[in-house]
Amino acid sequence: MDTFQKSLLLSGRVQGVGFRYFTRQNAENLNINGWVRNRRDGKVEAVLQGSPENVEEMIARMKQGPSSARVDDVEIREAPADEEFTGFKVRR
């Protein structure tokens, strides 16, 4: 099976608002593998792997974010799936 993968960088009010846990819950609901983490520059970074439809739905949900977040910008990069992830992790 070919794994569809996207790499995301989100900016706005995305730290300290439960964004990573919101992302993990939605990823598990959509059968998305990968990870999410806070960056020192205040952004949130994520790698999503799954079916093209589920990854696109996940991106749409992340653009909205949890109610306490404000997503100002989402940078989406095509990323070769050179690593196969199992499950979805919140990285520190």
pLDDT at 3: 74
DSSP track, 38-60:
E-TTS-EEEEEEE-HHHHHHHHH
By C-alpha distance, which of 42, 16, 31, 18 is closest to 88? Answer: 31
Is residue 54 within 8 A of residue 30, CB to CB? The reply is yes
Does CATH number 3.30.70.100 belong to domain 4-91?
A: yes
pTM recorded for the entire structure: 0.93
Q: Kindly list the averaged pLDDT for each block of 10 residues, start to end, along the chain of length 92.
A: 86 97 98 98 97 96 97 92 90 90
Per-domain residue ranges of the chain: 4-91
pLDDT at 79: 75
- Dist. CA 12–CA 27, nearest whole Å: 20
pLDDT at 55: 96
Annotated active-site positions, please? 20, 38
